Chains A and B, each alone.
Chain A
Amino acid sequence: MQANLSLEQAPPISVPFRFFLTAPLFGVAAGLLILFIGPDIFLSRWAPATLALTHLITLGFMGLVMCGAIMQMLPVIAGAVIERPVLNSGIIHLVLTVGIGALAAGLSTSSSSLLVVAMVALGFGFAIFITAVFYALLRSPANSTTVYGMQLAIIALLITVALGLLLLSAFIWAIPEIDISRLTNVHLAWGILGWVGLLLVNAAYQVVPMFQLTPRYPQWMTRRLSLFLFGGLLLWSGLYGLRPFSSDLAAHIWLFLCLAGFAVFAGVTLMLQRRRKRRTEDVTVWFWRLALYSVLFGILLWSIDTAFPSLKPCGRLYFLLGVCLLVGFAASVISGMLYKIVPFLIWFHLQQRRISKALDRSVTVPNVKRILPARAMKRQFAAHLCTVILLALSTLEPEWLTYPAGGAMVISFAMLWYNIGRATWIYVEYDRYFRQSVDEDRHS
């Protein structure tokens, strides 16, 4: 079997890195917003500043990293080429960044004009992204379960964005026909469980065995779980959101089954990580474990709340659930993945440049451990762990702990940005060094 030249089709390093370098700054902005608003950020999940905070994390941090990662991964794992990757990624990155900034600022200041800018920019940015990715996936020669799962994740993103834009227009122009409460729950379920969940599950099928040297995920899971989760969400949306057919009990049962699917994924991943081939210390495994225990805890919380509604702890369960799923789970997995992908991509692109410039063996490429030292990752993990714990506790005790939680968040995301930025700087320096070496060879 002669394999295809997958990585020959990989985009330039600037394509994913513009997203990776911007995303943590939105995390810093989220922390600053917590510090600015204070304990009132946990007053109500419908408060505009709270919505701004949520979207700084979901769209700003998670969304941007996932857009960059997809544009990098598609050609490599699916052979799916995105047309004009530099131009397209530049436009998508710029428009989404403006849209996320305008959304957060518009919600925080209740400015309708900023929210209209956000609606146009986010609608336009995601329309280009979804079209480019879906078009590339449809033409993909690969027929793997991961490609299939990514298609489902992109459809989930389309549903999330469409519902988000509808909610935003209802927010700006106060459309009474829209049941904002139900629609918001459907929007966030498709965003967190559909888009983020499906994408991370399918990325894990590739990344966990490859980088953490675990056995592969079982085939029954890789073949069926994504379809089960997607189908479950679709059915739940109908039962929960479509008035003539709605049945809260049936909807709860279906959502529980979806969450049970994620719990099985978390359990299998933890078991696979116990069977790692090489038991060396790996900070990214810590990020994954924090993420998986957070998602299991979140599912437990939701199940208790749904089964025993009278036990609602001070009405703050939604915040605790949000912290578990967004910061404890998604932000942890994404950070763990970034710490594997970033040094690998830098090493790989430098290696390719060294070879393409026919440099001799004396010109070497730095080791991945030098590009992103374990000590820097460990420090950031400690800051991230503090953020998760303090945020979780501050949902229960906002007066005392909101400010420390906001401060920890600023520090944690700033450290993440510094670590990625420092690694990128190493790439820039070595790239310059390689070019100088070629010039010297020519002159000698």
Chain B
Amino acid sequence: MPHYLDASGMEPPEPMECVLQLLADLAAGEYIHMYHRMEPTPLYGVLHRAGFRWRTAQDSQGMYHIFIWRNSDAEAEREAAAHSTDPAAA
């Protein structure tokens, strides 16, 4: 199940603050779908250190969709991967 985070109107580091709050409560099988105007490269290092994985896709409008799940959560990874192929619909 996705937690949707629209970060398109947020100023750095608000998107990362919100993601980190969501990550702390992420249950098994859940993932985060983050919607952003820019690719949040600083976030990736933090996710890597905190034990999360991610997949980034760009839609036809140039907006970024970042899907984040726990390292060992195969179910969340499967769902996130399925949605990331058509990010705008997700």
Contacts and interface: CB of A to CB of B under 8 A. Distances in A.
Given A211-B11, A213-B37, A277-B8, 10 more contacts: A1-B56, A6-B42, A7-B44, A77-B41, A278-B11, A344-B13, A347-B13, A351-B46, A352-B45, A355-B46
A36 to B, nearest CB: 41
A239 interface: no
A5 B48 contact: yes
A108 to B, nearest CB: 42
Given A1-B56, A1-B58, A344-B12, A351 B41 contact: no
A8 interface: yes
Contact of A351 (B8, B16, B54, B56): B16
Interface residues of B, number: 24
A139 to B, nearest CB: 18
B20 A351 contact: yes
A8 B49 CA distance: 9
Nearest to A278: B9
A3 B48 contact: no
- Max chain A C-beta neighbours (<10 A), residue from B38, B44, B55: B44
B55 A2 contact: yes
Contacts of A352: 45-46, 49
B56 A2 contact: yes
A209 B37 contact: yes
B35 to A, nearest CB: 13
Given A1-B56, A2-B55, A361-B24, A348 B48 contact: no
A47 B38 CA distance: 48
Given A6-B42, A76-B42, A210 B12 contact: yes
Nearest to B66: A3
Contacts of A347: 13
